[in-house]
Chains A and B, each alone.
Chain A
Amino acid sequence: EVQLVQSGAEMKKPGESLRISCEGSGYRFTNYWIAWVRQMPEKGLEWMGRIDPSDSYTNYSPSLEGHVTISADKSTSTAYLQWSSLKASDSAMYYCARLQWSGELGVFYGMDVWGQGTTVTVSS
């Protein structure tokens, strides 16, 4: 079964660091980019960035670049999202998702497999 399994819920204080994970299984992890998507409480979806696990090349949303870091370890089929200094406004559900790529069209066209989500709560 193709799946992405994320790490568990986290409760942190402002200024603390955090890394959450997303482990892929059931497929060749290096063949698909992984995206991270944020969903703030009772809000919609926001694309944060993506990574190519084969070489760790990343793209970030301009609004979040510099505040988060996306990485991957292909030896363990795991992608990561990390913060060096959390803010209360980082409180949200975070999803990883597998990106579908059209080689013919040269574009990502959908996120077909999603992790179950990781809840991050940042509060003093």
Chain B
Amino acid sequence: DIVMTQSPDSLAVSLGERASINCKSSQTIFYSPKNKNYLAWYQQIPGQPPKLIIYWASTRESGVPDRFSGSGSGTDFTLTISTLRAEDVAVYYCQQYYTTPPTFGGGTKVEIK
């Protein structure tokens, strides 16, 4: 199975500041024939199910605010929240879907400083 490693485990950011979360895969999840990175990001607000926010590493799901952006390629990826809002407090997970079974990172908890 592909191992997904996120860092940091948690971070505290002031409202209006930038939050960045890293995700590293144990092998490439870039499929060159299709020029796609097989990576998604999910947001899980406490007490709620996860919500898909990014797929193909950088495509925002419909309705997701543009302060959320995804970047990276190959084995190293980043989720950035450009200006943190109170409603962004959550745990964020990356997930690869390059191979079966799809695997998740351990999660990064984002809090307000």
Q: Taking beta carbons and an 8 Å cutoff, which residues of A are in contact with B?
A: 37, 44-47, 59, 61-63, 95, 97, 100, 105, 107-112, 114-117
Contacts and interface: CB of A to CB of B under 8 A. Distances in A.
B56 A116 contact: no
Interface residues of B, number: 25
A47 B1 CA distance: 12
A95 B40 contact: no
Given A44-B107, A46-B104, A110-B55, A95 B50 contact: yes
A61 B95 CA distance: 15
B1 to A, nearest CB: 8
B2 to A, nearest CB: 12
A109 B103 contact: no
Contacts of A62: 101
Nearest to B34: A105
Contacts of A105: 31, 34, 36
A59 B100 CA distance: 9
Interface of B: 31, 34, 36, 38, 40, 42, 44, 49-52, 55-56, 61, 93, 95, 97, 100-107
Given A97-B50, A111-B42, A115-B49, 18 more contacts: A45-B50, A45-B93, A45-B104, A47-B101, A47-B102, A47-B104, A62-B101, A100-B55, A107-B97, A109-B38, A109-B40, A109-B55, A109-B97, A110-B55, A111-B50, A111-B52, A112-B52, A112-B61
A79 B44 CA distance: 23
Top 3 A-B pairs, shortest CB-CB distance? A114-B49, A110-B55, A61-B101
Contacts of B49: 95, 97, 114-117
Contacts of A115: 49
A44 B105 contact: yes
Nearest to A64: B101
Contact of B52 (A59, A61, A110, A117): A110
